[in-house]
Amino acid sequence: MTDPADVRWFADLRSEDIAEVGGKNAALGELYGALASQGVRVPNGFALTVGLYRAALTEANAWPRLAALLASIRPGDVASLASAAAEARSIVHAATGVPRVRDAVAAAYAHLEEQYGPGVAVAVRSSATAEDLPTASFAGQHESFLNVQGVDTLFEACRRCFASVFTDRAIVYRNDNGFDHLRIGLSVGVMKMVRSDRAASGVVFTLDTESGFRDVVLVTGAYGLGENVVQGRVDPDEFHVHKPSFRAGHRCVLRRALGGKQRKLIYGGDANQATVDIETPAADRDRFCIGDVDVLAIADHALRIEDHFSRRAGHPMPMDIEWAKDGVDGEIYIVQARPETVASNRRSGSFESYRLGASGTVLLAGRAVGEKIAQGAVRRVAGSADLAAFRPGEVLVAETTSPDWEPVMKQAAAIVTDRGGRTCHAAIVARELGIPAVVGAENATVLLQPGATVTVSCAEGDTGHVYAGALPFEVSTIDAASLPRPRTGIMINLGNPDLAFKTALRPNDGVGLARMEFIIAEHIGIHPMALVEPDKVTSAADRDAIARLTRGHRRPRDFFIERLSEGVGTIAAAFHPKPVIVRLSDFKTNEYAALLGGAGFEPKEENPMLGFRGAARYAHPAYAAGFALECAALRRVREDMGLVNLKIMVPFCRRVEEARRVLEALAANGLRRGENGLEVYLMCEIPNNVIQVDAFAELFDGFSIGSNDLTQLTLGVDRDSQIVAFDFDERDPGMLEMLRLAVAGAHRNGRHIGICGEAPATYPGVAAYLARLGIDSISVNADSVPRTLKAVYDAEQAQASGKPSS
């Protein structure tokens, strides 16, 4: 005879029932009962209660035997753990094989058959009383069984699920987290299967799991039943949705990444093989497992679930949710929800500072990029052919670097180059990636021996050093709340969308420079004109590569618009609602030619730095159609994604008439200055921009000083020439006067003016000088924020007190 307390249906459960049915089942009951009216679908099911589990073990006199077994396990002894755990599972399995348990299972399953049909397939999952808590998830510690059909098979699956409370891994987990083995109660949840074996399934988090950034929903998915995604056996597709924009009515996927989806778990062919894991066909791997409509539906469910549990908890409650799409009815179902316990518990509002702990032998020195310290084995790279041998964590040593090396540069512990200044490719990429680099270190490729361990330090000021061996160093954490906040806005330079969420957590007033060309080179890799006029691409290899990259898009140009808008949009979303100033593409002709299909569209120039770049391209017949793609992407960010905090900046604009042509081209492509609050800035980086600041101010909403090019053109120094690099110095009196004139001119016309070059980050004295001038904002790389905040704050305080500042 069954006891009514032995089984509880989802409809009758709430979060308060954890002691009776465990965390997982209590959460499912909460979803089933409280959120169904909001369109959140949860398959029906029931829970075998903790009371039934405890009663069965008490009736079998199992507790003393279990206590003795668990006490016999010797710490660190894998053999004793395995033996005791196996015997403990055997005790529980025998104790739950009694008529009371069987009758409870049979009666509840019969009721489920009445709703869904005879032999309905169900999932059987454990639900412990200490499971799915905000502080401990117990994820994956116990057993689950899928596609269970028939009462006999279900009864055996429930017994095995009860017994899994004593898996080896669960015992170790409880020991590590201080839980009493015998006080943990186990409930078993039985839920109608969703036919995701015919569609897709996955996990959705209501934050970004890498950074802990709270303003996005992360949806992951793959084909088939969800265990492959949950257990990490496949590389899933990933999608991000921006919460504030979504809530404001903008239904748009922020960004997406195609995963490998190597295998998929489907129903087996007979009772002896409930599921089988098969290879995913190549055609399916090459496309996303779900479309945007499903992604947005999943995000909607996730936000409703997060909102509900946050209200219940009285504080924000990021969630970890499992979803499944039914291949029969096409609907999205939620099959599990629990508090996220990793990223949400990380300390926020802090970042790191580095300091060497000992002196050592200096092998060479150069210009420091960033402020970090790293160690690794030397790997010389002479050209692209050497990249295949590169291993993560090595120190990349080269004469100079190239844009097509960036995938490998991401894996480097540090970068050291023979040539280059603070604005060379290696320096720019290193800053973006947050890794130390020493550039312009003559003879690095000769003096640094392959395989030798070195320490690369950029934590000692302007000069970076490469030391022999692995020197000790300290990393201290800086609390953002302890940093001074000056009146002057301190913004961030950023080009890599992959770093946006993490970087946005640092103190900042927005993004003063979002580099579009980084996104084009890294996330697109194709010349825009090669997508507009593919028939003009002469290289067969390039045509094949472009076809592979753009597969799945209706038109090749759609690939460019989607990728660029997602890259720029990710940065705008990360810093929303703070301003994000995106610079229109500013490749030189030789850099454009290096993109796939680019060689046939670019002229060969003796001095690309002063040639067909920046504003000169946008309305020119040779590139106007490519510029239209850039505009379409930016329009999608502002209109479809709703990220109107995005501002546009025009680079390298030589003359006022040229500025008018660019603004006309922007307007013709749907980006008219002033419409929908659109602001257009000018990058003030040519002396003529300073000389004619009043005329330019009539056309633009603000200025951002590009100190790299402005210094180069004011002093007549090629910033990439190692032999005259010593003359490239933003602290030159002539340059300081240029900065003064630019700030004064902008303010005379009531225009915002900031700076986004490297000078304030490299020389705190320049930052202080600009603060005294009253510049509106200073934009630096993320690693330079702490010292820039301090330099600017000290200058402001000194100015207020009438004291001179350094």
Nearest to 738 by CA among 719, 758, 761, 755: 755
Nearest to 496 by CA among 410, 397, 585, 391: 410
Q: Supply the angle between the helices 18-34 and 292-313 in degrees, to the nearest 10.
A: 130
The answer to whether 338 and 226 are in contact (CB under 8 A) is: no
Cis preceding-peptide flag for 244 (omega within 30 of 0): no
Nearest to 746 by CA among 780, 699, 797: 699
Tokens 């569609």 appear where? 199
How many whole angstroms separate alpha carbon 372 and alpha carbon 458? 5
Nearest to 110 by CA among 144, 155, 145: 155
DSSP letter (8 states) at residue 6: G
Phi (first) and psi of residue 123, to 5 degrees? -105, 140
How many whole angstroms separate alpha carbon 307 and alpha carbon 212? 17
Nearest to 502 by CA among 211, 207, 783: 211
How many whole angstroms separate alpha carbon 448 and alpha carbon 4? 76
Neighbours of 127 (CB within 10 A): 28
Estimate to the nearest angstrom the gap between the alpha carbon of 50 and the chain centroid.
40
Three-state SS string over 541-579 comes to HHHHHHHHHHCCCCCHHHHHHHHHHHHHHHHHHHHCCCC
Positive or negative, the Cα torsion across 450, 451, 452, 453? positive
How many whole angstroms separate alpha carbon 797 and alpha carbon 806? 12
Positive or negative, the Cα torsion across 242, 247, 250, 253? positive
How many whole angstroms separate alpha carbon 312 and alpha carbon 35? 13
The answer to whether 194 and 335 are in contact (CB under 8 A) is: yes
How many whole angstroms separate alpha carbon 520 and alpha carbon 583? 12
For residue 668, the number of C-alpha atoms closer than 13 Å in the C-beta half-sphere is 13
User: DSSP letters of 204-261?
Assistant: EESS-TTT--SSEEEEEEEEBSTHHHHTT-S--EEEEEEHHHHHTT-----EEE----
Q: What b-and-e string marks burial along 298-336, b requiring 16 or more CB atoms within 10 Å of the CB?
A: bbbbbbbbbbbbbeeeeeebbbbbbbbbbeeeeebbbbb
Structure-token pair, residue 720? 């990439």
C-alpha distance from residue 603 to each of 610, 611, 637 (Å): 13, 10, 31
Tokens 């210094």 appear where? 711
Q: Is residue 161 among the annotated active site residues?
A: no
C-alpha distance from residue 761 to each of 180, 349, 358 (Å): 53, 21, 26
How many whole angstroms separate alpha carbon 280 and alpha carbon 265? 9
Q: Which of the residues 252, 424, 458, 756 is marked catalytic?
A: 756
How many whole angstroms separate alpha carbon 327 and alpha carbon 200? 8
Estimate to the nearest angstrom the gap between the alpha carbon of 726 and the chain centroid.
38
Nearest to 448 by CA among 378, 351, 499: 378
Q: Which of the residues 308, 425, 527, 576 is marked catalytic?
A: 425
Q: Is residue 289 among the annotated active site residues?
A: no
Burial class (CB in 10 A: 0-12, 13-18, 19+), 446: exposed
Active-site annotation, residues: 425, 756
